[in-house]
Structure 1
Amino acid sequence: MAKASRAAAAWKTYREVSKPGTPGLMTRVRAIPRLIGGVMRGEYAGMGKGKLAMMALGLVYIVSPVDIVPDFLVLIGVADDFGVFLWLMASMLGESGRYVEWERKRLIGRVEQP
């Protein structure tokens, strides 16, 4: 992923998280465990288990000492980890925001039922 596209992805994520009327950053972060549980139990159909698995692989890649591009190649080795990190954060924050909206709609539906 080119440097410009990583910066664009980070900017897009920031704009989405800071948009008025959408769940804020900490609301999204706190929703991540519920999102994972909802996907695993099959309650939340907004995200498949395949995408969740890809995110888990991204996390493993970031923390793993084994990389496609070794970290001792300082600029290049760290850049690939950073690219995966940006993708993972953008994906998790975007998905958790949609999950929070889904929870809110579901809660409103329960309240309106007699």
Structure 2
Amino acid sequence: MAKAARAAQAWRTYKNVTEPGSPGLGARLRAIPKLIGAVTRGQYPGMGKSKLAMMGLGVLYILSPVDIVPDFLVLIGVADDFGVFLWLMGSLLGESGRYVDWERKQVRAFPS
């Protein structure tokens, strides 16, 4: 992903998180474990297991000492990790926001 595309995605995520009526950053972060559980159990129709697997691979890529572009190539080597990090955070925050909205609708549709 090009630098401009990563920056645009980060900006869209920021705008989405700060939009009035949208789930806030704290709610999105707290929802991530529930989102992962709901996707793996097949309870949340908004995200497939394949996207969750891609996110897992993103985490592994960031944590892995083996990179496509070695980190000793200072600017380029760190930029690929940062690009994956931006994609991962944008995807997680976006998906967790949609999950929080979906969960709220479920509670309203089936009050206890």
TM-score range, shorter chain: over 0.9
Give the structure 2 partner of residue 58 of structure 1: 58
In the TM superposition, residue 110 of structure 1 has moved relative to its aligned partner by: 1.1
Q: Distance in 1 between matches of 2:4 and 2:54?
A: 23
- Aligned residue for 2:85, secondary structure, equals helix
What is the rounded CA distance, in whole Å, between the counterparts of 2:16 and 2:45 in structure 1?
21
1:6 Cα deviation after fit: 1.4
The match for 2:79 is 79
Amino acid at match of 1:90: G
* Identity in percent: 72
Query: Which structure 1 residue ranges, 5 or more long, are not aligned?
Result: none
RMSD in angstroms over aligned alpha carbons? 0.9
Length-normalised TM-score, structure 1: 0.96
Q: Cα offset for 1:3?
A: 1.8
For residues 84 and 99 of structure 1, the distance between their equivalents in structure 2, rounded to whole angstroms, comes to 22
Q: Offset of 1:66 from its aligned partner?
A: 0.3
Runs of 4+ more than 2 Å apart: none
Residue-by-residue CA offset, 1:1-30 (whole Å, 9 max, x unaligned): 222221111111000000000000010000
- Counterpart of 1:71, as a letter, is D
1: distance between equivalents of 2:43 and 2:71?
39
Match of 1:24 in 2: 24
TM-score by length of 2: 0.97
Counterpart code for 1:23 = P
Count matched residues. 112
The residue type paired with residue 96 of structure 2 is S
